[in-house]
């Protein structure tokens, strides 16, 4: 019945558009009124819908002027259009919106595509020579593996990877309470021994921008500025290097970012949100499994505290000849309870008497 009433009302409007209710029909107004009354009796829904539409005041067709000589004894009420006959403007908006949403999805796909493209920066990294003599002089014992102490770094490697895997972590800060405890010695040796895990991609960054020493330890010069890299002035492919082919089995799944100049505002640079964003971008470009940050001594300045949002846990390297338990406790107090302690590496233990590190 509703469909029949719709067709009826549609026909009424079409007749009006062609020149009024009487044009061309030869029927009187009384005949039309009687027909209208009969239809309304047969389809009472018409009156109800027309009454409801009058309240809503929808947009109506402009009535044609009524002939002057029409013998209209009773005005015929003008039928209001049904809401269902509306050209559905609401349906047009979802179409437009869906089109916009589709464009946004395309943009997102394009963005994701760009990330996939830059994820493969690793093959673009340049080579750096293996300076065998300098590395031996600086006690990079995991390179030649002639010193039996290298086994201690193999154990440290295994325990560190277990801790990272169990917790879903990858970013490791390596620091010490004070200067000359051997944090860079531990950082480089740990990085080299990790390079021999073929399924583990490792990167090492020299973040001690007040006293950079990774390049010196490896016997390299003109390695670039870490400060410029963190400011976004140098691309990742120009800041990170991999060891050239060698007979020491130092794997090509280790990349190192070094520094050859002092950054006077290191702390301010390390805590900037832009630095965190760049490091996230770096992770997307290199897809590392382990990230080692060689940081400054924790009690020397506030660099480690400023950088703590960018690492998952910390390794503390202590000097067995002079570091006290109070020094380690002070480091952890400054970092706070939110920073997990991954381990304490005792260096120079052969010269320690046991009294320096007493609790």
pLDDT digits (tens, 9 = 90+) for 287-328: 999 999 999 999 999 999 999 999 999 999 999 999 999 999
Residue that the structure tokens 């044009």 belong to? 23
Residue 357's nearest CA partner among 332, 334, 330, 327 is 327
With residue 30 as reference, give the H or E element that holds it: helix 29-42
The secondary structure of residue 139, as a DSSP letter, is: T
Q: Which residues of the chain have pLDDT under 70?
A: 1-119, 350-359
Q: Which residues pair with 293 in a beta bridge?
A: 173, 205
Nearest to 165 by CA among 187, 120, 197: 197
Separation CA 187–CA 191 (nearest Å):
6
How many Å is the Cα radius of gyration of the chain? 40
Residue 164: per-residue pLDDT? 97
Residue 219 near residue 131 (C-beta atoms within 8 A): yes
Show Cβ contacts of residue 232 under 8 Å, excluding neighbours closer than 6 positions: 274, 278
Chain CA centroid to CA 173, Å: 22
User: Residue 21: which residues within 8 A CB-CB, separation 6 or more?
Assistant: 12, 15, 29, 32, 76
Q: Which pLDDT score, from 0 to 100, does residue 37 have?
A: 67
Cα gap 232→333, rounded to integer Å: 33
The CA distances from residue 27 to 39, 41, 148, 202, 317, in Å, are: 17, 21, 117, 94, 107
pLDDT at residue 349, rounded to an integer? 75
Q: What is the pLDDT of residue 35?
A: 62
Cβ contacts of 309 within 8 Å, gap of 6 or more: 276
Asked if 204 and 170 count as a contact pair (C-beta separation under 8 A), the reply is no
Q: Are 163 and 302 in contact (CB under 8 A)?
A: no
The pLDDT assigned to 84 comes to 38
Question: Which residues make Cβ contacts (< 8 Å) with residue 121, sequence separation at least 6?
Answer: 236, 237, 285, 286
Residue 87: strand, helix, or coil: coil
Beta strands in the chain (DSSP E): 126-128, 171-175, 202-206, 240-243, 254-257, 290-294, 313-319, 341-347
Q: What is the pLDDT of residue 33?
A: 66
Query: Whose structure tokens read 């309870």?
Result: 337
- Is residue 35 within 8 Å of residue 22, measured between CB atoms? no
Q: What integer pLDDT is reported at residue 145 of this predicted model?
A: 86
CA–CA dist 170, 165 (Å, integer): 8
């Amino acid at each position: 019945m509703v469909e029949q009433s719709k067709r009826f009302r549609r026909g009424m409007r079409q007749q009006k558009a062609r020149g009024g209710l009487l044009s061309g029909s030869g029927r009187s107004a009384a005949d039309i009124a009687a027909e209208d009354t009969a239809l309304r009796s047969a389809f009472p829904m018409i009156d109800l819908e027309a009454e409801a539409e009058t309240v809503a005041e929808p947009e109506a067709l402009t009535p044609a002027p009524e002939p002057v000589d029409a013998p209209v004894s009773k005005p015929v009420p003008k039928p209001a259009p049904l809401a269902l006959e509306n050209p559905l403007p609401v349906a047009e908006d979802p179409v437009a919106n869906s089109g916009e949403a589709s464009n946004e999805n395309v943009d997102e796909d394009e963005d994701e595509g760009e990330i996939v493209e830059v994820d493969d920066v690793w093959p673009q990294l340049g080579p750096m020579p293996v300076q065998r003599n300098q590395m031996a002089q600086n006690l990079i014992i995991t390179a030649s593996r002639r010193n039996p102490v290298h086994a201690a770094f193999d154990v440290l490697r295994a325990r560190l990877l277990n801790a990272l895997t169990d917790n879903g972590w990858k970013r490791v800060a390596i620091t010490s309470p004070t200067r000359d405890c051997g944090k860079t010695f531990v950082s480089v040796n740990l990085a080299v021994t990790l390079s021999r895990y073929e399924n583990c991609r490792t990167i090492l960054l020299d973040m001690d921008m007040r006293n950079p020493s990774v390049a010196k330890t490896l016997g390299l010069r003109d390695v670039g500025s870490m400060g410029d890299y963190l400011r976004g002035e140098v691309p990742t492919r120009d800041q990170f290097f991999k060891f050239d082919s060698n007979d020491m089995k130092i794997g090509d799944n280790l990349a190192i970012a070094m520094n050859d100049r002092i950054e006077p505002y290191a702390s301010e640079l390390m805590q900037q949100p832009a630095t965190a964003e760049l490091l996230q971008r770096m992770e997307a470009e290199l897809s590392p499994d382990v990230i080692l940050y060689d940081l400054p001594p924790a009690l020397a300045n506030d660099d480690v505290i400023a950088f703590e949002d960018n690492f998952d846990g910390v390794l503390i390297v202590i000097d067995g000849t002079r570091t006290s338990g109070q020094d380690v406790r002070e480091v952890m107090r400054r970092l706070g309870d939110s920073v997990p302690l991954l381990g304490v590496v005792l260096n120079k233990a052969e010269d320690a008497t046991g009294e320096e590190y007493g609790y």
